[in-house]
Structures are given as structure tokens and as C-alpha cells.
Structure 1
Amino acid sequence: MQTNATHTHDTPPPYSSLVAVGDSFTEGMSDRLPDGSYRGWADLLASRMAARSPGFRYANLAVRGKLIGQIVDEQVDVAAAMGADVITLVGGLNDTLRPKCDMGRVRGLLEEAVERLAPACKQLVLMRSPGRQGPVLERFRPRMEELFACIDDLAARHGALVVDLYGAPSLSDPRLWDVDRLHLTAEGHRRVAEAVWQALGHPAEDAEWRTPMAATPPPAWVARQMAHARFARQYLLPWIGRRLTGRSSGDGLPAKRPELLPYEGPAA
């Protein structure tokens, strides 16, 4: 059973705090700000919520590269203890991209996370993560869809919302993805923030996030080959190297916003 990403309430409840849990998707890669830091959909969502709730507090525990076991070990209990009104949990996708992935273990850990977080907040938000068009995704699509089926089931059992980004063809557009082909651009993150905003019961603020981008002429063959070569050299080979050596891009990095504090961030 899939939870629809809309509310039946005319006016959503006033949420006064948000805690975001997860990996690079929730950290905000690749929505880079001029100072080199990352913004992302969770920051954009927090900005919107803060504009409507004086004293609004926000924490973002997400760290790039984290597997679901690390999210459970390092973030879930911290998030549950904060007593926030809304908690977002997005995790498990990094696991599905590993060559040796035990989906039974992933499902069990995700269930453990939801069982701890759902009672600790007024509204838990889960997501079916967006998927970029391309041959790499096709290889891992069965695992991803198994993960999403688990998310739907957990949401139905624990009263969580599911934001179905995977089911929105607009978000599979390669133009909404960074050159690393793993992370959304600023426009992609803006659309995700809008999707979560609507899922929490708010009326649409921006252009409908499901609307596909306007068509543009495809790049020339030479440009495509150059882009493929750059991607392989700068992103794919280092990514494979980390997989083979058991390292992660997030090793040693702290949480983005480790404490639940008043938020005055980038404008939405």
C-alpha cells in the first residue's frame, strides 16, 4: 500500500521543528552555494517552515555516503531524542548500489529506523528516491523497487507519509542531475522541497514539481562522448575505488546541522 503524498486537511498543522536523517541526498549534494557548502531540499523546506512558525528549529544529521546501518547507528537515536515535530528519513539507496547488497538486512534496518522514529515525532516522512534515466540505474532498479516496496509497507503500518519522487518522470530528467549523475542539481532539490511541502499538507508554492522541464535539443554526439569520459574519469572510477576499498565519501565528516536550533537559512 502506498501513502499518497497529499493531505486531506484544509490547513496543515503548524510544525515548529524538523530533523532530517540520511545521506548525501538529504545533506544537499549537489546544490552548491557560493561559499562551497551545500543547501539542498531539506534546507529549502526548513526555510519555508521557518517563515510560518516563529522560533522554528531545524537539525540535519545527514552525511554523504552513509549506508542504512550507519544511519541507524549514528543518526536515528539522536534524531528520536530531539523530539521534533517532523522527521524525514531517506536511506538505503547507497546500499542498493553496492555489488554485494543484502536486501533482507537493508529491510530489517529500515524497519528498525522507522520503529524508533515514528513514535518520536508528530509526522515521519519517508521517500521513494528519484531515479535518473540511464543504463547504470537499470542494473540496480530491481533492488531500488524492492526498497521502495518496503518503504510503502512501513509507512502504511506506522502512519508515515511517503513522497513518491521515483514515480515522477520529471525528476528522472538528466538535466536535473549533476555531472556526477548521482546527485540532483539546485532545480532538482527545489522540486523535492516542493514535493515534501505539499505532502505535509501545504498548497503549492511554486511551479508544479511534477511538470517536466521544457524540451531542449539533445547535445551533439561529440559533446555526449566528452561528458561520458569526464564522468568516468572524475566520478565513476573514484566511486568504484571507494567501493573496492570499503571507504566512503563521508568518512570523518560531521553532521550538517547536528543540533536542533533556530533556523535562519537560505531563502526558499
Structure 2
Amino acid sequence: MPTDAAYSRYVALGDSQTEGLGDGDDATGLRGFADRLAEHLAHGNPGLSYANLAVRGRLATQVHSEQLAPALALRPDLATVVAGVNDLLRPRFDADHVAHQLETMFAALTAQGAHVATLTFPDPARMTPLARPLTPRVAALNQRIREAARRHGVTVAETGHHPVVADPRLWSLDRLHASPLGHQRIAAALAHALSLPGADDTWTHPLPPPTTPAPTGWRAAADEVRWTAAFLGPWLARRLRGRSSGDGHTAKRPHLTPVRAEAS
């Protein structure tokens, strides 16, 4: 496996998590785990260039059809491919179809000489009980991701099963996107899986105890009602209208440009 000093062109493909939702905003700019991973890489390689082709709301098929060809044209030596969560939320989810889209991207990128990394997904029921019907879907997709990755020498960051991933502080208010701290942990998980210098397993460690106790009883129930009204309801309304959160959005960083190393 190359060291980080050997990587000179990093390209990220995916949906809203890779775009960076939950870490910054559209007015001030999104950061996200891919930006943070690029910054980590830049510590060992000041000449690193980075492109982020991800667009929020994209299904795995759309990531494949819209982002793979531009990614190949950039000739990356490192690529991250993270997609499938938007598919999990659709009524007619097909784990085999999603895995096929991911594997096609794995195959094309590795055949061109890129080292590819991906990750597994946590069970969303650990963040909200209303998501319990998604548990078997997540398990099925994760297993297929592992199998496809094994066939193509793709590095997998196993972010799904560590207890810390259920800590609410790692998630934004919508419980779908990581918070800044969550994005930091995802980047650290990928850096660790890639065996980058300075990376270790501290991303799996629990956070310090919260300063305020988690709500229980009627307060917890009230939180679920507020979450449904603020996030689940609008998401369902978009689906019924055939709209996506990504409508009108394009890749935030479509070209390879230099990266400045950051302290965190």
C-alpha cells in the first residue's frame, strides 16, 4: 500500500456526507470528512491536489453515472467512494443493485491504478428508534460492500460497529449527517484504515461524559416529535414531490486543486 507521501491526487466521490453536510454550511462553506482526510494527507505531502465530486441527495446509480467518468479523467492515485445511504431510505431498496454500482466504481478506479477506500455504515436505529426498519438493510449493504471491496483490494474503514458512533455529539440535528466532530472521526477512521502516518485507533474511543444528561421519558418523546416535524416530514414531502436535496447543486470542488494542511 502506498504511504501518504506517494499520493499526489485524491478524488472523493459520493453524496452529502462526502460533500460535507453537517460540517459548516452553504453560506460559509462545507468541510466534511473528505476535506479533513485531504488535509491529513497534505501533512506528509505538501504537493497534494484534491477534488471533491460529491453532491448531496445522490443515489449510488447517480454517483456512478455522474461522477465516475470525471473522477477517472482526473487520474487519482487515491479515491474514496462512499454512497448508498440515500438508497437505504427509498422504499424499493435493492442491496445487490447498490453494491453493483459501488463495485463498478471500485473496479474502474483500481484498474486505472488508484488506491480506493470506502466505509461501512452504522445502524441508524442506534441514533433514532424510528429508523429500526432500516437495520437489516444496513447490515445487508455493509456485507456486500465488504465483499466487493475484498475482490478489488479496496480499503474499508469499519465505522459502523463501534459504540462511539451512537453518541449524539457525532451527529447533526437531522441525525442523518455527521456533525463536525463526526466528520473528524470519519476522516480519522479512513486515515487509520489507510495506515497513514499519525493515524491510530483513537477515533474509536468514547467521548468524555456529556455535561448534561440525555433526555428520558416524555422529554425524549418530545424530542422525537420535534425531529419528525423538522427533518423527517420535510424529507418525506420532497420524496412525494419527486425532488431531491441535491436539485440545483453541483460538485463543490470539481477540479484538482492544492490542499493546505490543517491542524485538525
Structure 1 equivalent of residue 209 of structure 2:
215
* Distance in structure 1 (CA, Å) of the matches to 2:43 and 2:27: 23
1:3 corresponds to: none
User: What's the TM-score, normalizing by structure 1?
Assistant: 0.89
- Please say if residues 19 and 58 of structure 1, whose CA atoms lie closer than 8 Å, have aligned partners that are also in contact: yes
1:1-268 correspondence to structure 2 within 5 Å: 14-32=6-24, 35-132=27-124, 133=126, 134-205=128-199, 208-216=202-210, 217-219=213-215, 221=217, 223-264=219-260, 267-268=263-264
Query: Structure 2 CA distance, aligned partners of 1:267 and 1:213?
Result: 20
Query: Which structure shows the bigger proportion of residues in helix conformation?
Result: 2
Q: Is the deviation greater in 122-131 or in 157-166?
A: 122-131
Contact 1:87/1:121, CA 8 A, preserved across alignment: no
Deviation at 1:137, TM superposition (A): 3.1
Q: Identity of counterpart residues, as a percentage?
A: 40
Distance 2:33 2:92 in 1: 30
Question: Could you say what secondary structure the match of 1:260 adopts?
Answer: strand
Q: d(CA) in 1 for partners of 2:238 and 2:192?
A: 37
Matches of 2:29 and 2:261 in 1, distance apart?
Answer: 12
Does the aligned pair in 2 maintain the 1:60–1:256 contact within 8 Å?
A: yes
Whether contact under 8 Å (1:194, 1:204) holds in the other structure is: no
RCO comparison, higher one (Cα < 8 Å, 6+): 1
Q: Unmatched 5+ residue regions in structure 1? A: 1-6
Structure 2 CA distance, aligned partners of 1:50 and 1:148? Answer: 30
Describe the shift of the 1:171–1:200 C-alpha distance in structure 2 as closer, same or farther (beyond 3 A): same
Instruction: State how far apart, in whole Å, the 1-side matches of 2:223 and 2:261 are.
Output: 34
**1:57 Cα deviation (Å)?**
0.2
Aligned-partner residue type, residue 21 of structure 2: M
Q: What do you get for the CA RMSD once the two structures are aligned?
A: 2.2
- CA distance in structure 2 between the partners assigned to 1:211 and 1:219 by the alignment: 23
Amino acid at match of 2:85: L
Return the offset for 1:114.
1.7
Quick one: which amino acid aligns to residue 155 of structure 2?
L
Query: For residue 175 of structure 1, what is the amino acid of its counterpart?
Result: R
Deviation at 1:103, TM superposition (A): 2.8
* Aligned positions, number: 260
Structure 2 unaligned regions, length at least 5: none
For 1:231, give the aligned amino acid.
Answer: W
How far off its partner does 1:84 sit?
1.0
Residue-by-residue CA offset, 1:35-64 (whole Å, 9 max, x unaligned): 532111111111111122122100001111
Q: What TM-score does the superposition give when structure 2 sets the normalisation length? A: 0.90
User: Distance between the aligned counterparts of 2:59 and 2:89, measured in 1?
Assistant: 10
Q: Is the 8 A contact 2:159 2:165 kept in 1?
A: yes
